[in-house]
Structure 1
Amino acid sequence: MATTTAFSPRQCVDVSTYPKLDHKQAGHLRHFHNLTAQRDGEWKHFDTAEYFQEFDDSARYQLATMTYAAGAAHYHRLPALRGPFRTLFRQIIAKMLRREVWAYWFLSSHGSKMFDPSMTKLRDPWADPVMKENIMYSGHLLLMTSLYTMLFDDDLYEKDDAIVFDWNPLFTGLGPERYTYSVSKLQDVILRQMEENDWAGVCCEPNAIFVVCNQFPLIAVRYNDVRNGTNVIGDVLPKYKAALVRKSMINRDDGLYSSFFALKQGVAMPARQGAHTAWANAFMNSWNSDFVYEGYERSTLGSLTHFNGKTQLHPARVANAFRKLVSEGADKDDPQTLRKAQDPSCHVVNPRMPFETLNWGTFTMMLSELGKDKELTDLLQYLDEKLNPTWENGGLFYPRNDHLADEEWNLTHVEPHSGNSGVGYARLNIKDGQKKMWEKPWTSDLLASRPYIEGPTFADDIDFLRAIWDEDHSAMILTIRRWQGPSKPQNITVKNLQQGDWAVFVGGKLSQQTSVNEGGEVSLTCDVGQEEVDVVVESASR
């Protein structure tokens, strides 16, 4: 309630000393909102080269990476912004549960000679997308929901019927089917399969275990352990790590992880490109950091080159040719080696895989996680100069470009996974971002002790640039703006404050003074337009 306590008219904290999202970072978050706020059945900008949702640019990967990007932004950059991020997470996860995203599995569950050459007939299919195999969907869904639970101290997805798959096509089947899961049930299903597969991981496609897709459920298990007071990951990780080495999935001299492990044949297939290794490293760094850093130079050979003071990213066929030339004695530091590798006569293309790898997203995600600032800056600069950065409804993305390279073999191919979410993740993450979240997940006790912000969301056309609780100064710092339109009043609430007197400053000027009880809140209304507005809520006893 309001009081007549005398407050200093001077704001003590200097807002400019607190980090702030830049225009592009805020634009990526808004693009995530724009994409997932579309009405059900509308998938603008999600278009993929493989329209059965089987390849790496599929909607599930785009949605998962948006979630991880938003999670990194919340944890590392805007930790007090609980309300808007909670809403965004629910929005993305709701899209992930749409049948359009996971219905591909009914076809994929038949199996394929591409991944199991011993097949002589197709298997009987099933529609439930998480009960067996398909870690390329179930593993992401487990991390998305577990990350939500960790960040917001919310058991929404732990309820028995919280994760629902409705298989109800109009003209297929014997009638509607419904499959229900919770976070814990989904985790149990995944871990049981890992054990059945001698801890090598869970299959993506039938008979094919990929290193990258098994990183996400491991991180989820860690978060759930911290929340539940268990240590499941402590038992799983040594077995998994040993299996990767034993089955030759990661111990290759070239630094690349196997293309996949053929389960029935017991054979690790050689890598065909570096994108999957980069993608895996961006998240494996959470639990296997020394290994990831040690293998960086070998794993990026050919994919990333460093000539004329610039880091350059290359198509997989150029990278493979470069690696081959170096293995034959060519100098990796000689520009002539790159020129030879760019000659189409040196290129080998897999005729059974007509789609290009998702280079931009995976490599930039890895570079951000490993703190390779110079390399990441060079790649982002190239994207901004050459690959048509597009602003739409306040959101930033890089539109699909199916053309592989220009006449000088500079990479121009952009698929929606990279353009919609991968590059955004790279901009919003920080060095060792996944590793720091693994080591210190937010706990219920921590969140219960810390003030946070509720009120407007991304749906209110608000860009959130700062949202930080400064414990040392007992101050909440919020910087917001509207990305379009005239000024509008916004109702903002700072919750979970300590008992005492609080001063509210808007634009550096004292706006109101309030006394609250322990765990109380301060509510305020301020006009927000396209100019940034700084809101500070300070303890009067500072």
Structure 2
Amino acid sequence: MSQTQTKSVADAQITLSGRTNGLFPPQLPPAYTNLTKLTREQAGHIRHIHNIVSQIDGEWRFMGTQEPGQEWLDGYRYQLATMAYAIAAAQYHRMPAARSVFKPLMGRIIHKMLRREVWGYWFLTSHSGSLVDPDLRELRKPWADPICRENIMYSGHLLLMTALYAMLFDDDKYEQPDSLVFNWNPVYWGFGPERYSYNRATLQEAIIKEMEANGWIGVCCEPNMVFLACNQFPLTAMRINDVRNNTQVAQEVLEKYKSAWQKKGMMGKDGLLRDAYRIKQDSPVDALDIGFPAWAAAHMAWNVEQMEDLYNSMAHGYLSKIGDRVNINPDKVARAIRKLSAENPTTDAAEIHAKARALTAKEAHTYPSFMHPVFGWVIEWAAEIGPSEDLNGLLKHADQFLGPKWLDGGLYYPRHDIQYDENDNHVYVEPFTGNAGIAYARLTVKRGQATMWDKPWTREQVGTMPWIDGVSLDSGVDTLSGVWDEGKGAMFASFRTWHGEPARINPVFNMLPIGHYGIYINGNLNRENVIRASGESISISLDVNGSDTDVVIVRQSIN
């Protein structure tokens, strides 16, 4: 009998099982054996994020930043927000049924985001200073509320995090009064605690009010400075909230936003997206390096086609393929490559690269007082809109030069404060890149943000979506697959302990359609179940260990 004939017989047995009570074949038919799972690295990133946010409040192991006041670009808020985006991408694109894994994890990330250690920098920042406002003559009167004015570098991320939570889990937790509370309570300061209370709706209203006050160019991050990248996150959040709430806020805001930037110009003369815009000076700020342009382009979901068109021209000079890896060149080398290429368009790329390095060899590398998380931003950019060879090449570079580490089942890249080695290989790692940026790039898919912009899950979708309960990261078990395949009428799941020791879990498969089900564990029929009414579930007791335990639940309709 041919393989095709064998498959037909197996499929026929399954079809008959709904009529004859128990004729599911003893072995899982080939049509159901192609189980897509997370890689070891992808599961390791999720486990590391879990390890970080499961620490007792006040512990921030692995997350220490260059700047002690949390003002800089590797601060807790950026790490936590990008962890949330990585988790959201993993669920939306890879394991939509694994709700009991991701919902508690997302909740813990948002909980950490509300800690004063994360947003308390704003009180000092609100005074402003000459770095962001060169015309300032005296400090402003400060305020501690991190939402009411400016500070989109915090509020915009929080808005998207809460929007994703609502969308993914059909949960209005952050719509409730006092669901987003900020307690400003330094022990030896002031006349007592101050409390600022918001929910998702009032948070969004505060952001829109600030955008309008600035002529729709965006909301300031630091005083006086509207950064292009930071304003992309609230725009995406508004779109997700619109679909959930049947409103049109994002469309209205976006039209005004695009009009405002058309007058200022998003692109600099260097061919890169601009970093920012100074409100008081009415002055765009050109790119310091590839970092901010890459970050903005990675998350400009409403404009993905144009960002894809710009990708190669912006990446030119900054990204160099070396064998099977991709290196990010120092800014001075990259700009020299871009200049030489324009002057000598037919010259070999390797020759131009060598000449650029020689021309800039005597120049000192100049960096800001604190380095940007360039690698993390660039790899997010490559993951969203770049060719797969760029993403894979950057991951190869990270694994070769950025020192990956495993601890308690979690994968991360530890901090390293040297920017480039003697061969101009990028070796700098800050905790944004090491904890979150590379994790996001591995867990998302191409056009991952743009797809969520185009097709956010609706309340109705989530309410009828089959999902798995009863398996959490706290159990020591990693979930490697969690997908309901409507076309095949089957639920696919896979589990493994991170430590290799045995554990017992009790997954519950909810919202399965009415029908007869054959439950297969590691390819063998374990038992059969019948779902006769909406809301019934299938529960199993499962012994797992350091090897993958695969579960496939195959449905046949009741005739």
Shared fold per TM-score greater than 0.5: yes
The equivalent residue for 1:389 is 404
Change (3 A) 1:331 1:49: farther
1:91 shift after superposition: 0.8
1:275 corresponds to which residue?
291
Q: Given that residues 245 and 251 in structure 1 are in contact (C-alpha distance below 8 angstroms), is that contact kept between their aligned partners in structure 2?
A: no
Q: Mean Cα displacement is larger for which, 488-497 or 253-262? A: 253-262
Q: Distance in 2 between matches of 1:326 and 1:241?
A: 32
Partner of 1:436: 451
Looking at structure 2, the residues matched to 361 and 423 of structure 1 have their Cα atoms a distance apart, in angstroms, of 6
Q: Pairwise CA RMSD of aligned residues?
A: 1.9
Instruction: Point out the more displaced range, 479-488 or 36-45.
Output: 479-488
- Contact preservation (8 Å) 2:311, 2:386: no
Instruction: Say which is worse superposed, 340-349 or 146-155, in terms of deviation.
Output: 340-349
Determine the structure 2 residue equivalent to 1:189.
206
Matched, 1:87 2:111: no
Relative distance call for 1:54 and 1:318 in structure 2 (3 A) is farther
Equivalents in 2 of 1:273, 1:336: separation in Å?
23
Give the paired residue count: 535
Residue 140 of structure 2 aligns with which residue?
123
Mapping of residues 97-496 of structure 1, within 5 Å:
97-248=114-265, 250-284=266-300, 286-306=301-321, 311-326=326-341, 333-342=348-357, 343-347=360-364, 349=366, 353-496=368-511
Q: How many Å apart are 1:14 and its aligned residue? A: 4.4
For the pair 1:528 / 2:541, whether they are aligned, the reply is: no
Structure-1 separation of matches of 2:109 and 2:67:
22
Q: Rate the CA distance shift 1:495–1:298 in 2: closer, same or farther, 3 A.
A: same
Give me the whole-angstrom Cα distance separating, in 2, the residues matched to 1:333 and 1:213.
Answer: 37
SS at match of 2:506: strand
Distance 1:30 1:183 in 2: 28
Whether 1:64 aligns to 2:65 is: no
Q: How does 1:487-506 map to 2 (within 5 A)?
A: 487-506=502-521
Letter in 2 for 1:80: A
Output the amino acid matched with 1:463: D
Deviation of residue 518 (structure 1)? Answer: 1.4
Per-residue CA deviation, residues 211-254 of structure 1 (Å, 9 max, x unaligned), is 00000000000000000101111111121112122112x13343
> Could you tell me which of 40, 44, 47 is aligned with 2:57?
40
Q: Which residue in the other structure is 2:17 paired with?
A: none
CA distance in 2, matches of 1:371, 1:60: 26
Stretch of structure 1 that moved more, 217-226 or 236-245 = 236-245
Distance 2:221 2:526 in 1: 56
Cα deviation, 1:191-212, whole Å, max 9, x if unaligned, reads 1111111111000000000000
By how many angstroms is 1:324 displaced? Answer: 4.7
Deviation at 1:12, TM superposition (A): 4.2
Distance (whole Å) between structure 1 residues aligned to residue 523 and residue 339 of structure 2? 61
Percent identity of equivalent pairs: 43
Aligned to 1:6: 22
Q: CA deviation at 1:326?
A: 4.6
Give the 3 Å change call, closer, same or farther, for CA 381–309 of structure 1 in structure 2. Answer: closer
Q: Could you list the per-position Cα deviations for residues 2-56 of structure 1 after superposition, in whole angstroms to 9, with x for gaps in the alignment?
A: xx94352433464542321111011111111011111111101001111211111
Q: Distance in 1 between matches of 2:72 and 2:163?
A: 24
> Given residue 470 of structure 1, which amino acid in structure 2 is its aligned partner?
D
Q: Distance in 2 between matches of 1:540 and 1:407?
A: 63
Note the alpha carbon deviations across 1:77-102, whole angstroms, 9 max, x for none.
Answer: 00111111001100111111111011
Cα deviation digits, residues 125-174 of structure 1 (max 9, x gap)? 11111111000000000000101101111000111111111111111121
| CA distance, structure 1, for counterparts of residue 493 and residue 299 of structure 2 | 30
Aligned-partner residue type, residue 527 of structure 2: Q
Gaps of 5+ in 1: none
Q: Aligned partners of 1:263 and 1:257: how far apart in 2?
A: 18
Q: Distance in 2 between matches of 1:15 and 1:406?
A: 49
Which whole-Å CA distance do the structure 2 matches of 1:243 and 1:166 have between them? 35
Taking structure 2 as the reference length, what is the TM-score of the superposition?
0.92
Q: Cα deviation per residue 1:476-517 (whole Å; 9 max; x = unaligned)?
A: 110111011421210110011223333322222222333332
CA spacing shift, 1:332–1:213, aligned 2, 3 Å = farther
Query: For 1:40 and 1:9, how far apart are their aligned partners in 2?
Result: 51
Q: Aligned letter for 1:428? A: L
Structure 2 counterpart of 1:260, one-letter code: A
The 1:297–1:501 alpha-carbon spacing in structure 2 relative to 1, beyond 3 Å, is closer
Any idea what the Cα deviations from partners look like across 1:413-434, whole Å, max 9, x if unmatched?
Answer: 1111001110011111111111
* Residues 15 and 534, structure 1, Cα contact 8 Å, conserved in 2: no
**One-letter identity of the residue aligned with 1:468:** V
Q: Secondary structure at the match of 1:195?
A: helix
1:513 aligns with 2:523: no
Corresponding letter in the other structure for 1:459: D
Moved more, 127-136 or 322-331: 322-331
Contact conserved, 1:487 with 1:529, CA < 8 A, in 2?
A: yes
Between the aligned partners of 1:70 and 1:358, the Cα distance in structure 2 is 20
Give the whole-Å Cα distance in 1 for the aligned partners of 2:346 and 2:64. Answer: 40
Contact conserved, 2:78 with 2:432, CA < 8 A, in 1?
A: yes
Q: 2:284 is matched by which residue type in structure 1?
A: A
The aligned amino acid for 1:475 is A
Shift of 1:306: 3.7
Aligned counterparts of 2:478 and 2:241: Cα–Cα separation in 1: 31
> Are the aligned partners of 2:49 and 2:83 in contact in 1 as well (CA < 8 Å)?
yes
Cα contact 2:514–2:557 (8 A) shared by 1: no
- Distance in 2 (CA, whole Å) between partners of 1:310 and 1:380 is 8
Q: Using the TM superposition, name which of 194-203 and 302-311 deviates more.
A: 302-311
Say if 1:467 and 1:476, in contact at 8 Å, map to a contact too.
Answer: yes
Could you tell me how far apart the structure 2 residues matched to 1:364 and 1:74 are?
A: 20
Task: Normalising by structure 1, report the TM-score.
Answer: 0.95
Separation in 1, partners of 2:84, 2:160: 9
Report the Cα distance in structure 2 between the residues aligned to 1:459 and 1:152, rounded to whole angstroms.
19
- 8 Å CA contact 2:326–2:397 kept in 1: the answer is no
Q: Does the C-alpha gap of structure 1 residues 238 and 32 become closer, same or farther in structure 2, counting only changes over 3 Å?
A: same
Unpaired segments of 5 or more residues in structure 2? 1-19
Q: Which letter does structure 2 place at the counterpart of 1:277? A: P
Paired amino acid for 2:422:
E
- The 3 A distance-change label for structure 1 pair 508 and 6 is same
Superposed displacement of residue 381, structure 1: 0.8
2:171 and 2:546 mapped to 1: Cα distance? 33
